[in-house]
Amino acid sequence: MQHPHRLIALAAVAAALSLAGPAAAREVSLYVTVEKDGKLIGGLTEKNFRLYEDGESRPFRLAEPETPASIALLVEYSRASWPYFNDILRSIEGFFEEAPEGHWYALATFSNDLNVRVDFTKLRGRISQAFTDLPPPMWSEINTYDAVYEMLDRMSRLKGRRVLIVIGSGLDTMSSHTLGDVKRMAERANVVVYGVGVGSMFRGMWEPYLTTTARMDLTMAQAFFQMLADRTGGDAWFPRFEAAFRDVMEGIMQSLAFQYRIVYDSQVPEDGKFHKIRLEAFQVTDDRRIDFRVRVRQGWRR
């Protein structure tokens, strides 16, 4: 035997691999919204879905959504929010009218830091009450990244179905967390995020007078909400008119009511890397496959 040490090394590696075995399976829950031409599609069964993790097909099952859901509102509340404060009020008002009974609701606001105003309660009226009882905002900072990061971090440790509705401009002034930090947290937290962008009308009025840098900031703000929605399987809206904010809240609540829950056992290793998820939803009618638009988290980190 010319190279016994190589064989020993190979044997050791093989033994280590066999001891470690495959990564322990972990149950993953996906909340999925299915749409066609802007209409929510209900009544689909398991045969209408295909699931791929890191490009490989995975077995799954459809399960009942976990109830009650934990739904948190994160609201921008800064002195700088004043020009579009009516948009924020309209959103809260819309939420107040559309939120169904039976879920857990919480309210947090942010400017330079995050403030939990109402911890989870089933009395959703406490949210609007707490909001109307808020003292005047102290700071002009809008640290959106820090607030979203911290909320996702806190919510990641809750059990069951978790939803975060962010109402704000999407602008960020002095956060200590970067966009990348928030993105990674969104991938890890398994919280569905809905973004409601406020200030579009105000923005439209001042559009011709904005500098290139200001325009870039505003584009970034919108892109931030869109990124959160895409990463987590939520949605993002940027209504131009005050009256539309109530419709947006109605849309979010409908979306939640129509969501499917897909459960599967993931085998991916605990490597902290991003594992891509792809879900197809379709219906076959008269041998013709009709594909639907699917909103689901783009992947996850273990």
The residues binding other proteins (CB under 8 A) are: 70, 72, 79, 82, 85-86, 89-90, 93, 96, 99, 101, 104, 106, 108, 116, 119-120, 123-126, 128-129, 132-137, 151, 154-155, 157-160, 176-177, 181, 272
Nearest CB to other proteins, comparing residues 64 and 133: 133
Two tokens at 182? 């928030």
Residues 226-255 as b or e (16 or more Cβ within 10 Å = b) = bbbbbbbbbbbbbbeebebbbebbebbbeb
Two tokens at 263? 């459960």
Least distance from C-beta 147 to other proteins, angstroms?
12
Measure CA of the first residue to CA of the last residue in the chain; give whole Å: 43
User: Rounded to an integer, what distance in angstroms lies between the CA atom of residue 146 and that of residue 150?
Assistant: 6
Least distance from C-beta 145 to other proteins, angstroms?
12
How many residues appear in the chain? 302
Nearest CB to other proteins, comparing residues 161 and 231: 161
Least distance from C-beta 28 to other proteins, angstroms?
17
3-state secondary structure of 269: coil
Count of H-run helices and E-run strands, the chain: 8, 16
Nearest CB to other proteins, comparing residues 184 and 203: 184
Nearest CB to other proteins, comparing residues 128 and 259: 128
Least distance from C-beta 220 to other proteins, angstroms?
22
Least distance from C-beta 133 to other proteins, angstroms?
4
- CA R_g for the chain: 22
Nearest CB to other proteins, comparing residues 34 and 155: 155
Q: Which helix (DSSP H) or strand (DSSP E) does residue 290 occupy? A: strand 288-291
Nearest CB to other proteins, comparing residues 152 and 279: 152
Residue type, 151: M
Least distance from C-beta 81 to other proteins, angstroms?
9
